[in-house]
């Protein structure tokens, strides 16, 4: 029996997918998603991952620049066209009478965004702060916890650079001790990674900060096992989920985290400049905000949102992005991203023994992010050659312990674009990049 668009949208609501309750959000904004889901039917996520007709409909939901091949969606991803339209509409509405329209009409609607994000993450709305990005969320954690001289903090040398810099500033100002541990790329096992943390812990250890998925190689870190290690010792664990939320299905209770920060303009495809900070309810009173809040707000998650005047339209459009992602299904999304990853990585390794993939390709060890290098070719020069010759946007990575090119496709990336990239790398291996 053929499904109507109206019944599809009603089905989203029945499944717990909350469509934004903002004015002028039309059902036809989900036209592409509706057609895609009609094509998918009841097939498994793995089967749909290879269905180009399904993904062609998803691709048309984005106004992507097809004169370039964007394989750096780990930095910032485009947002679906209807999400962008909602944000622009709210910006125009704001501009008509800002003090009234933004502060008294749009700002209260962020409670809907808070509620929907909390439901997706599996926490209470009163534990969910909507912030500007993962860096802001992590800096609230890093600067918000009380530490004294000599207290130790453990990170890896693959943590995001800004977070390491933030800890180093506290180290210079306050005399805390920052310990950076290393691990093999790719690591031989989750147990091996946990042991690197265990070996660094001393009686002075107060905090561990860990990335949920590294921005350099795309390795998914064993967050739950690290929580199990740290909690009995009274060590706080801050999780940088910048690349994780919206990338694959996850819930707070699966991870057992107390603190979690992420950006929503990467894998959730929300507008640029939106993220969230989760803090478990009983931890809120002891974590200071970045900007001062009244004592009466000590237990209020909203104290972390006190940043002064800012555009509300970006935050409210998160609800539209979340509804689009839920309608597509995160199980289908991660299956597709891993399919695209494996398509180029396995072909390169099969056709040249000079190619080394530094990301574990297992079904639960990485997602779209994958790092590779080629013997005899400098990754920075290869990255520049791919951009100038083939208009392929990529991310050369140079770390003290490894180097390569990071490739991050997204749901709007076509198989043709992946194959063009793979053909170009194989040509570079065969003929060089000098000319």
10-residue stretch averages of pLDDT, the chain, 435 residues long: 45 44 45 70 87 92 93 94 95 96 94 96 98 97 98 98 97 98 96 98 98 97 98 98 97 97 97 97 98 96 95 94 94 96 98 97 91 98 97 97 98 97 98 85
Q: Identify the pLDDT of residue 21.
A: 41
Q: Tell me the three state secondary structure of residue 307.
A: coil
Do residues 207 and 236 make contact, with C-beta atoms less than 8 angstroms apart?
yes
Q: Identify the pLDDT of residue 386.
A: 98
Number of H helices, E strands in the chain: 17, 13
- Residue 147's contacts (CB-CB under 8 Å, 6 or more residues apart) are 153, 170, 174, 176, 206, 207
Work out whether the CA dihedral 244, 249, 252, 254 comes out positive or negative: negative
Question: CATH 3.40.640.10 region(s) of the chain?
Answer: 101-322
Distance CA 344, CA 335 (A): 15
Distance CA 292, CA 303 (A): 8
Do residues 221 and 210 make contact, with C-beta atoms less than 8 angstroms apart?
yes
Structure tokens at 400: 């003290």
Residue indicated by tokens 């209770």: 253
Other Cβ atoms less than 10 A from the Cβ of 52: the count is 10
Residue indicated by tokens 């490739």: 407
Q: Identify the pLDDT of residue 32.
A: 67
Question: CATH 3.90.1150.10 region(s) of the chain?
Answer: 332-431
Report, at the CATH architecture level, how domain 332-431 is classified.
Alpha-Beta Complex (3.90)
CATH fold, domain 101-322, is 3.40.640
Distance CA 209, CA 238 (A): 5
Instruction: Report the alpha-carbon angle 153-217-183, nearest 5.
Output: 45
Q: Identify the pLDDT of residue 15.
A: 39
Q: Identify the pLDDT of residue 207.
A: 98
Distance CA 121, CA 102 (A): 27
Structure tokens at 73: 């969606």
Run of H or E residues at 193: helix 190-200
Q: Which of 184, 185, 174, 183 is nearest to 207 (CA)?
A: 174
Distance CA 394, CA 422 (A): 12
Distance CA 420, CA 347 (A): 12
Distance CA 395, CA 404 (A): 9
Q: Identify the pLDDT of residue 7.
A: 45
Q: Identify the pLDDT of residue 375.
A: 98
């Amino acid at each position: 029996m053929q499904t109507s668009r109206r019944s599809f949208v009603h089905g989203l609501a029945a499944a717990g997918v909350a469509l934004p309750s903002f004015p002028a959000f039309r059902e036809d904004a989900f036209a592409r998603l509706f057609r895609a889901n009609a094509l998918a039917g009841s097939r498994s996520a793995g089967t749909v991952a290879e269905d180009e007709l399904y993904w062609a409909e998803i691709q048309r939901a984005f106004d992507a620049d097809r004169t370039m091949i964007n394989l750096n969606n780990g930095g910032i991803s485009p947002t679906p066209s209807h999400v962008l339209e909602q944000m622009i509409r709210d910006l125009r509405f704001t501009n008509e009478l800002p003090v009234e329209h933004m502060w008294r009409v749009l700002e209260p609607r962020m409670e809907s965004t808070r509620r929907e994000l909390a439901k997706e993450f599996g926490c209470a709305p009163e534990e969910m702060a909507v912030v500007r990005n993962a860096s802001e969320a992590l800096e609230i954690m890093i600067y918000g916890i009380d530490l004294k001289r000599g207290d130790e903090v453990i990170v890896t040398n693959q943590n995001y650079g800004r977070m390491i810099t933030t800890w180093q500033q506290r180290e210079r100002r306050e005399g805390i001790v920052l310990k950076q541990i290393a691990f093999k790329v790719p690591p031989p096992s989750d147990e091996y990674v946990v042991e690197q943390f265990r070996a660094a812990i001393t009686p002075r250890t107060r905090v561990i900060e860990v990335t949920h998925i590294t921005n350099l190689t795309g390795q998914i870190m064993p967050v739950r096992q690290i929580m199990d290690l740290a909690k009995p010792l009274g060590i706080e664990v801050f999780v940088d989920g910048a690349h994780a939320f919206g990338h694959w299905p996850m819930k707070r209770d699966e991870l057992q985290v107390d603190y979690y920060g992420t950006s929503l303009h990467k894998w959730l495809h929300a507008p640029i400049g939106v993220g969230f900070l989760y803090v478990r309810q009983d931890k809120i009173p002891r974590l200071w905000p970045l900007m001062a809040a009244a004592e009466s707000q000590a237990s209020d998650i909203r104290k972390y949102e006190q940043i002064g005047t800012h555009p509300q339209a970006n935050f409210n459009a998160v609800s539209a992005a979340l509804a689009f992602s839920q309608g597509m299904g995160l199980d289908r999304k991660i299956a597709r991203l891993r399919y695209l990853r494996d398509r180029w990585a396995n072909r390169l390794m099969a056709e040249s023994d000079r190619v080394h993939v530094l990301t574990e390709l297992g079904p639960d060890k990485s997602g779209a992010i994958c790092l590779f290098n080629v013997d005899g070719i400098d990754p920075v020069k290869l990255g520049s050659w791919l951009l100038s010759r083939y208009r392929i946007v990529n991310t050369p990575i140079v770390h003290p312990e490894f180097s390569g090119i990071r490739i991050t496709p997204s749901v709007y990336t076509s198989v043709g674009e992946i194959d063009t990239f793979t053909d170009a790398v194989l040509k570079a291996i065969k003929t060089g990049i000098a000319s």
